[in-house]
């Protein structure tokens, strides 16, 4: 079967390409808007294409002769990016709209749309002691402005293409994915990578201090990339059609995230809190009741273990520079 992975030049997409290639799949097409030289991972035996999937003809070219589609393409980044680029994030709705149309026309057998925990209603995330977001907490709708609205709308598109045209769709809601081979600098990086970079730079420079966005008491759960890839594959192979959480249930404060990275680095830094920086919701975690019941599985990599691998990789990148 020919697999199409859109957003194949990105963090999760690159890991997904590598995963299927390692499993022995020979016919993989990867598409991204970025120049191929900027892709996170590259393999000589993959059908790589640089296309702007906001255009319908690019989507039609991408799905041609493909059996299954993993749609990971969107314009996104960490909180610093999505809070300051709401319109750009919203325009990504064209990708899923046109890709669904092209997939339906090409009689694709199954279609996965990678959604996000940013679809959840803001009033369910006002406490640091978040008990975990269940799938129904997305409604009544009040998602993250820009990026969250795009994801929620695209989820509904998948549902209606399944109802109206019989296109088999599945929708994972991914929670804060991190790990090696991801974005770690430049403004699009997420909290784990940003904290690792800041600690490494403080250690190398001898500055002995770190800037933290917010007061450090906001809470999150962070999912290691290996769990993300496994969850995507398990969901795709199941009969589940509605949105489902794929995320870690290990809730930590941002201060605890920094504690972990400092312990890995063997340093203790003075913390300077930037209270006017983008910081998102107050508390967000994944309730995994549904995925445990449906797949007898949930993400299990401990944050400390994932951070050690991420820290080591980012440290290597900084040393190379």
Contact 254, 216 (CB under 8 A): yes
Residue 243 DSSP class: E
Give dist(CA 122, CA 54) in Å, integer: 28
Range 22-60 burial, b when 16+ CB lie within 10 A, else e: eeeeeebbbbbbeeeeebbbbeeebebbebebbeeebbb
Half-sphere exposure of 105 (CA within 13 A, CB side): 14
Strands (E), 51-140: 68-71, 110-113, 115-116
Question: Is 147 designated active site?
Answer: yes
* Choice among 70, 111, 120, 147 that is catalytic: 147
Torsion angle of the four alpha carbons 219, 223, 224, 230, in this order, in degrees rounded to the nearest 10: 170
Element spanning 269, H or E? none
Q: Which residues are catalytically annotated?
A: 147
């Amino acid at each position: 079967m020919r697999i199409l992975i859109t957003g194949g030049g990105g963090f999760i997409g690159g890991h997904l390409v590598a995963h299927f290639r390692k499993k022995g799949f020979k016919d993989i097409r990867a598409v991204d808007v970025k120049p191929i030289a900027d892709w996170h991972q590259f393999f000589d035996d993959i059908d790589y294409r640089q296309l702007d999937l906001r255009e319908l003809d690019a989507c039609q070219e991408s799905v041609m002769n493909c059996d299954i589609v993993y749609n990971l393409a969107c314009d996104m980044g960490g909180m610093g990016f999505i809070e300051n680029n709401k319109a750009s994030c919203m325009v990504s709705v064209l990708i899923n709209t046109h890709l669904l149309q092209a997939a339906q026309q090409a009689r694709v057998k199954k279609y996965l749309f990678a959604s996000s925990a940013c679809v959840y209603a803001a009033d369910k995330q006002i406490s640091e002691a978040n008990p975990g977001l269940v799938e129904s907490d997305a409604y009544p709708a009040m998602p993250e402005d820009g990026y969250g609205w795009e994801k929620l709308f695209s989820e509904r598109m998948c549902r209606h293409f399944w109802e109206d045209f019989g296109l088999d769709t599945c929708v994972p809601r991914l929670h804060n994915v991190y790990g090696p081979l991801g974005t770690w600098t430049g403004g699009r990086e997420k909290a784990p990578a940003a904290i690792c970079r800041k600690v490494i730079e403080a250690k190398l420079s001898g500055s002995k201090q770190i800037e933290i966005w917010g007061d450090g008491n906001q809470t999150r759960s962070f999912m290691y990339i290996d769990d993300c890839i496994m969850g995507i594959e398990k969901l795709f192979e199941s009969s589940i059609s509605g949105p489902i959480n794929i995320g870690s249930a290990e809730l930590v404060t941002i201060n605890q995230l920094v504690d972990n990275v400092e312990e890995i680095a063997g340093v203790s830094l003075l913390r300077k809190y930037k209270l006017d920086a983008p910081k998102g919701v107050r508390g967000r975690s994944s309730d995994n009741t549904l995925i445990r019941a449906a797949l007898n599985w949930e993400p299990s990599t401990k944050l400390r273990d994932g951070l050690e691998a991420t820290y080591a990789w980012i440290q290597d990148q900084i040393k190379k520079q």
